[in-house]
Amino acid sequence: GDSVTQMEGPVTLSEEAFLTINCTYTATGYPSLFWYVQYPGEGLQLLLKATKADDKGSNKGFEATYRKETTSFHLEKGSVQVSDSAVYFCALGLPGTYKYIFGTGTRLKVLA
């Protein structure tokens, strides 16, 4: 069945370090792919999205590329800040259904 697998956390980095959070998916058809971020005490909010193969989503210095050949959508940022500390969720939108499947979330902690 359809699923999303993302790397377990927590991930602890020093400020200005490079970030990668891995996400792979299994889906029939051509899903849309998303990264959502959850700051402490808040709901999830969209970070970036990609709707077709080879699309690159980007926002606030974060990037992810929709790789159909490897069924992946890894999140990257070249230089993290303390304010990036949050939980990051990879998600896919099932085509034609308006339903979504979320990964288990990866907690990122950035130290000054």
Binding stretches for other proteins (CB under 8 A): 32, 34, 36, 41-46, 49, 51, 89, 93, 98-100, 102-105
Place of tokens 């979330």: 105
Tokens of 52: 């077709």
CB 16 → other proteins: shortest distance, Å? 29
Nearer to other proteins, 19 or 105 (CB): 105
CB 14 → other proteins: shortest distance, Å? 26
Nearest CA to 96 out of 7, 34, 35, 32 is that of: 32
Q: Alpha-carbon distance 80 to 60, whole Å?
A: 10
Phi and psi at residue 37, to the nearest 5°: -125, 140
Nearer to other proteins, 17 or 93 (CB): 93
Could you tell me if 80 and 13 are in contact, meaning their C-beta atoms sit under 8 angstroms apart? yes
CB 32 → other proteins: shortest distance, Å? 5
Q: Alpha-carbon distance 36 to 92, whole Å?
A: 11
CB 1 → other proteins: shortest distance, Å? 10
Nearer to other proteins, 49 or 77 (CB): 49
Nearer to other proteins, 8 or 54 (CB): 8
